[in-house]
Amino acid sequence: MPAGDEERYDVIVVGGGNAALCAAIAARHDGARVVVLERAPQAERGGNSTFTDGVVRFAYDGANDIVELTGDLTAEEIATSDFGVYPANQFFDDIVRVTENRTDPDLCETVVKQSKAALFWLKDHGVRFMPNYGRQAYRIGGRFKFSGGGPMVVRGGGPGLMEALYTAAAKLGVHVIYNAWAHGLVTDCGRVSGVRASIDGEDQQLRSRAVVLACGGFEANAEWRARYLGRGWDLAKVRGSKYNTGDGLEMALKLRAQPYGHWSGCHAVSWERYAADFGDPAITPNYQRHSYPFGIMINARGRRFLDEGADIRNYTYAKYGHIVLEQPGQFAYQIFDAKIAGLLREEYRTRQVTKVTANSIEELAEKLEDVDSAEFLKTVREFNAAVQNDRPFNPSIKDGRCAALEIPKSNWAQTIETPPFEAYAITCGITFTYGGLRINTEGCVIDTNHTPMQGLYAAGEIVGGIYYFNAPGGSGLVSGAVFGRIAGESASRFARARGE
């Protein structure tokens, strides 16, 4: 159906990432006529989802769930893998814990309880999964030990996920319009009944019986970042799509949709210091710097500034970017010695790194750009002296091997004394913003009068109230899939009721 056709759609989905495509597929599977408005050109489709590793966090009962989801594990792989279990109550508790008890309990419970079903639903629509051996498991005593709640990853990462979802949508007859920049919602007698958009530069109005907003937050809007996140956030690097500038939020707020959640908070990580300002699917994964639990981080003053080993990486990486941004010059260095070299993730071995190597700590100190070398040497000496060697180092669990300092290192403390030494320059990379729209468990947007807005639904990063201060690794894609599916089905039911 061409853009601008007078025949209305049942459901318009604004956005082109994971949550948007899940909404479109669910609505179309329910019988609705669906169009997806993707602001990006086809070559850049997929929103932030294209830039993810594809790690998924879900509640599972044991190895059988993993085996069933992958479908092709060998007997040897099964025998040498300890997938453990991740019950729903632990998943729920992890979100509650890292969000400092602020997560909306109803939304959180919905994500948790429907997480496994969402992955099997994705599998039914062509998404393929595999165990996350490379980044989530370490081989201990001949077996891979999985920890941290994210044992699975989409084959092909974010690009693989989006290719599968777009293929599934096309098979179902979902219409996708690219270069479609939505900038307003159409209303009729108090109901949302369409979208105003610039399509290939031409303003058009598309009519529908329901609209799903799934077009992300405002992380790619420097002015909004400074306005809502605070001073210095306009300087952060954007990990993902340059098209997530808050347009969907602005459209909904103009209709008195209720802002909800942590508007001054975001998901932000340690990132290559000299990365591009926005994501590039070809190289962006190489900008990650997530092996910090096994080394130390120092700032321009040559001092440590956080507990690198406070928890499993999955529970700290999304908040540590904030702390890096607060450092002088908005940068830091991650420091490792030869004992850790074999544990560094693959992105540390790519061309997209600012890396310094040296055969002595003194030589490394002289090579660290913009760092107080004398203070750095003092920091390393004090850290080495504080490492408690009475516990064995174990990268697969919180091993309690600590350095008792004013700023402690609670786990995985290893002396920095074995050459060669390596340092990696990092800054802050913002992934997505936590503030968004309030929805109910049916995916319907709530207005400032605390009333469901007829015909308006939302899913994905545009939804507020789930994450505050922090987010467990791998939960974002699952949340998007859960509420994308819910929003699409709810929008289709609403459209069908309006058409009767």
Per-residue pLDDT of the chain (500 residues; tens, 9 = 90+): 444 444 589 999 999 999 999 999 999 999 999 999 999 999 999 999 999 999 999 999 999 999 999 988 888 888 888 888 999 999 999 999 999 999 999 999 999 999 999 999 999 999 999 998 866 677 777 788 877 778 899 999 999 999 999 999 999 999 999 999 999 999 999 999 999 999 999 999 999 999 999 999 999 999 999 999 999 999 999 999 999 999 999 999 999 999 999 999 999 999 999 999 999 988 988 999 999 999 999 999 999 999 999 999 999 999 999 999 999 999 999 999 999 999 999 999 999 999 999 999 999 999 999 999 999 999 999 999 999 999 999 998 999 999 999 999 999 999 999 999 999 999 999 999 999 999 999 999 999 999 999 999 999 999 999 999 999 999 999 999 999 999 999 999 999 998 75
Q: How far is CA 330 from the centre of its chain?
A: 22
**Domain 268-429 class?**
alpha beta
pTM above 0.85, yes or no: yes
Return the pLDDT at 1.
40
CA atoms within 13 A on the CB side of 215: 29
Token duo for residue 232: 């210095």
State in Å, rounded, how far the first CA of the chain is from the last one: 22
Tokens 């009729």 found at: 188
Yes or no: say if 298 and 364 are a contact pair by the CB < 8 Å rule. no
Give the pLDDT confidence of 179-195 residue by residue, as tens digits.
Answer: 999 999 999 999 999 99
Give the residue among 463, 465, 457, 466 at the shortest CA–CA distance from 488.
457
**For the stretch 455-490, what's the b/e string if a residue is b when 16 or more beta carbons lie within 10 angstroms of its beta carbon?**
bbbbbbbbbbbbbbbbbbbbbbbbbbbbbbbbbbbb
Q: What is the CATH number of domain 9-218+435-499?
A: 3.50.50.60
Residue 114: per-residue pLDDT: 98
**CA–CA separation, 81 and 235 (whole Å):** 42
* Burial classification of residue 292, based on how many CB atoms lie within 10 Å of its CB (0-12 exposed, 13-18 middle, 19 or more buried): buried
pLDDT of residue 134: 67
pLDDT score at 135: 67
With beta carbons less than 8 A apart as the criterion, state whether 380 and 369 touch.
no
332-345 exposure pattern, b = at least 16 Cβ within 10 A, e = fewer = bbbbbbeebbebbe
For the chain, the structural domain boundaries read 9-218+435-499, 268-429
